[in-house]
Chain A
Amino acid sequence: MKFALFAGCTVPAKLKQYESSSRAVLENLGLELVDIKEFNCCGYPLRNIDLGLSVLSAARNLALAEKEHLNILVLCKCGFGMFKKAEHCLREDSSLRQRINNTLNEEGLEFRGDIETRHLLSVLYHDVGLEAIKEKVIRPYRDIRIATHYGCHALRPSEIVDFDDPNNPSIFDELVESTGAESISWRSRLDCCGAPLLGINDDLSVDLAQKKLLDAKQSGAHYLCNACPYCHIQFDTVQKTISSDQGGNHDLPSILYPQLLGLSLGIDGETLGLSMNQIDITAIERFLS
């Protein structure tokens, strides 16, 4: 299995451990990743300003992957959602597609719509499969409770993203449980992390994050688990600043899914970038058998 890895802007700049741990895990599970240097912004940050520009940005990435005949594997949920939205717009609206392709043609590119955009979690779940993962798990977790944070832009709008059941998703929980961990049920697991408003309305953004943290903590989670740079930064970097501002009463560390999985596959903590998380998660190794 071969995918073009779309790391996006935020992961390489602010969350290198997400990329390194994903690469390590996928390699361990026998996937081949191809890097396309020309990839650009996924378009997501531009949607508030100009939908046309965001679709153009997304379409260029899709066209670049099409040129290599590769499906795209996206690490970020917002980028994933953006690609899905762009594919939808370009499929439904032939005049938009024509306009976008006119621009892309100048670089010798064309959006045809013949590849698939996949998120890391759906590749692991559907393409690799739980059984294959379980076979590779050599150090399963014991007695650890994980709260899965699904991330809005992967789940919704479900008719476009087609990721999982939007009201009762289970992919992420099953993936977490394949490592031997317990995935807890908690009320606000499908809610927003607040990251899209960071920098626009920080108070609101932090309020939303706090509520989730409190709920996960009260539901008995040891760790919060993410598979999106925005969500993770919100629950890691931003949580740390809230904690230092307000005396730190949640302290629910957040771990990236490939870090969680990687440890149980026997990959070392350094490759997974455990120490690069802002809130210390190294203690999680105690739960490994």
Chain B
Amino acid sequence: MAYHVSLYISLAVLIVGLAYKTSAWFFRRISVDSKNIPTSKRVSSAIRGIILTILSPKLLTLAKVFLLDCVLQRKLLRESFRRWLAHTLIYWAFTLLLLMHALDTFVTSAIFPDYYPTINPFMFLRDVFGALVLVGICIALYRRLAMKSSRVKTSPMDWYALILLAVVIISGIFLEGAKIGSYSIYKQMVSDYAGLEEQEQDFKALTAFWVEEFGTVAPDLEEPFDVNLVESGRRIHQTSCADCHSRPQWAFAGYATAAAFKGAAVAMDRAGMHIFFRYIHFLACFIGLAYLPFSKFFHILTSPLSLLVNSVMDKRHSEPANIATRQAIEIDACMHCGQCTARCSVGIVFDEVQNVNILPSERMQSLKRVAFGKRVAKEESELISDGTYLCTNCHRCTDVCPAGINLEDLWFSMRESLLQKDYPVFSILSPLSFHRGLMRQTVSESDYQKPINRAKEAIAAGPELIKNRDKPLALPSPDRELQGHLFLSNQGDTFSACFGCQTCTNVCPVVANYENPQDVLGLLPHQIMHAAGLGIKDLTLGSNMLWDCVTCYQCQEQCPQGVKVTEVFYELKNLAISNVAEKGIR
């Protein structure tokens, strides 16, 4: 009764959960342009896309990817044998347990009409599979506990999943152990199948045999048994029990447990421990089932889906509606394995800048929260934007993702959405924007330019002096702090050697590009060096020249005074950003 009630409840939760999660793939929006695509369009495009794909040669690609990436986990194997082994043990052995043991009435009995869970090979295989899952869990736990890198994070979700799996397997083994030792189950079975109620001597003989050979722990029996008694028990066993019972030693995990608890077996049997373990075992299974759509177990369905979908789609040729749907599926396909973060090109930055959004696996968690419509405070949103921009678009996360998620594409969509918010992201003023520049055609003109201007304006808003260019300057007292700040490298303070010859400005290709350079650039290179020498912070930090500097080093190379003009520019840029960004990017 309890079994069936909980089974049906968990199945109901599973079905409702799956329906909700699946429907969300068609209304969740990640990229800016997906905001204009209605759900109905996404559903119809998906159906058409699936039909067209199935009817095309792409079907072969799907079959290949299914075999190599979904079943054999090729991508994980390329990255780490140990991780592949752990995952394959859990994945394969659990699948076999599910089919052979949990679904035995539907699967095993259908294939093997003689199936009985207590005969071999089934009894032995069940323990083999269970033990393999446990080995896999242990490797996974070891990796998460003994990891050297501070960058790969373990979230509560990761622990829940591993713990739940461990509970299912261990409770199953304990249940088996309790049943092996249980005298009450033994008696019940004898009365059901052997018909020895009237024959006390035969019952004794059979009991002696089962205690000797099958691990049953009977109370009030005097050992050692008489050899003849055991022999006669063996004969009764052969006729009444042997058809359905292999020797329990084959169930090595359960048998070892029974042997370990032998001393307490009678008490455990009286306390009904096998019933207790049975409850734990099936409840853990049913909790796992109900929890599946909401936990990382969901990746069992979504990761293969992501692998398959990504193998036949690409941004240039696929319909935007389907790309939007694919991205919504992808955020469900992430199982937080951390492979992306382990290989992230800017992971090292996280050691200095404690913003988890730099790390792709953690950025994904933020993306989930944003995409699921959870409220994110402005301060946190700024952190997410900053972290998301600190990315060199090296594509490594995408290459190594075992779920085949096109992370680079996802980050691009996420970044563009965040860039439209009303706060500046200063990293946009760095060569990290090279990728964005190349992707310009995929972004609307105003969306493209706005965040660049916003960052420049936020930096220019501070310096006052530079805005009144018509008036002669009343020189303020020199900002010693400014000069003190330019010491990031030993070349920062070389501006003091400038004698104003203007060579830097004359060789600058940026200055040469404009008819009236000062209108566009503000102060020119030699003026900035001079202003730094005078300690006028506003003038040095407020010029567009800093951000339009192409860092070609012509100025520095040609300077007769050894002023490291380009290096001074770099340091002024760092200073300008750390002045306006609340905590810099750190």
Contact = CB atoms under 8 A, between A and B. Distances in A.
A233 interface: yes
Interface in B376-392: 390, 392
A208 B550 contact: yes
B348 A56 contact: yes
Interface string A60-86: 100000000000000000100000010
A46 B349 contact: yes
B394 A12 contact: yes
B517 to A, nearest CB: 11
Interface string B547-586: 1101111101100000010110011011001100000111
Contacts of A85: 489
A81 to B, nearest CB: 8
A50 B393 contact: no
Contacts of B553: 152-153, 155-157
Contacts of A49: 426-427, 429-430, 573-574, 577, 585
Contact of B395 (A12, A53, A89, A198): A12
Interface in B121-165: 148-150
B490 A202 contact: no
Interface string A22-60: 000000000000000100110011111111110011001
Contacts of A46: 346, 349, 390, 430, 432
A156 B554 CA distance: 7
A195 interface: yes
> Which of B343, B348, B574 counts the most A-chain CB atoms under 10 A from its CB?
B348
A9 B570 contact: no
Nearest to B392: A9
Interface residues of B, number: 63
A57 B346 contact: yes
Given A50-B586, A166-B557, A45 B431 contact: yes
Interface string A97-112: 0000001001100000
A195 B550 CA distance: 8
A157 B564 contact: yes
Given A103-B351, A156-B552, A204-B548, A237 B430 contact: no
Interface string B537-550: 00000000001101
B430 to A, nearest CB: 4
B99 interface: no
> Which of A49, A57, A93 counts the most B-chain CB atoms under 10 A from its CB?
A49
Contacts of A156: 552-554, 556-557
Contacts of B351: 56, 103, 106
A51 B566 CA distance: 13
B570 A13 contact: no
A201 interface: yes
A93 B433 CA distance: 30
A116 B212 CA distance: 74
B287 interface: no
B557 A200 contact: no
A152 B440 CA distance: 25
A219 B348 CA distance: 45
B437 A157 contact: no
B38 interface: no
A95 B297 CA distance: 48
Contacts of A48: 429-431, 570, 573-574, 577
A272 to B, nearest CB: 21
B8 interface: no
Interface residues of A, number: 61
A241 interface: yes
Contacts of B149: 107
A152 B551 CA distance: 8
A106 B490 CA distance: 26
A45 B552 CA distance: 14
Interface string B428-446: 1111111111101100000
Given A40-B348, A202-B440, A191 B433 contact: no
Interface in B315-368: 343-349, 351-353
Given A192-B550, A207-B513, A51 B571 contact: yes
Contact of A195 (B345, B434, B547): B434
Nearest to B554: A156
A200 B433 CA distance: 7
Contacts of A93: 489-490
A204 B513 contact: yes
B46 interface: no
Nearest to A203: B513
B66 to A, nearest CB: 26
A229 B349 CA distance: 23
Given A156-B553, A157-B566, A13 B395 contact: yes
B72 interface: no
A92 interface: yes
Nearest to A47: B570
A277 to B, nearest CB: 15
Contacts of B344: 40
A238 interface: yes
B59 interface: no
Contacts of A194: 550
Contact of A51 (B148, B347, B441, B489): B489
B556 A157 contact: yes
Interface of A: 8-10, 12-14, 37, 40-41, 44-53, 56-57, 60, 78, 85, 88-89, 92-93, 96, 103, 106-107, 152-153, 155-158, 166-167, 191-192, 194-202, 204-205, 207-208, 211, 230, 233, 237-238, 241
17 contacts: A9-B345, A40-B347, A45-B432, A47-B551, A48-B431, A48-B573, A49-B577, A152-B552, A198-B438, A199-B433, A199-B435, A199-B437, A200-B428, A200-B431, A201-B547, A230-B431, A233-B438
Q: Which 4 A-B pairs have the closest CB atoms?
A: A199-B433, A199-B437, A9-B394, A156-B553
Given A41-B394, A191-B552, A199-B440, 5 more contacts: A51-B488, A60-B348, A107-B149, A194-B550, A233-B438
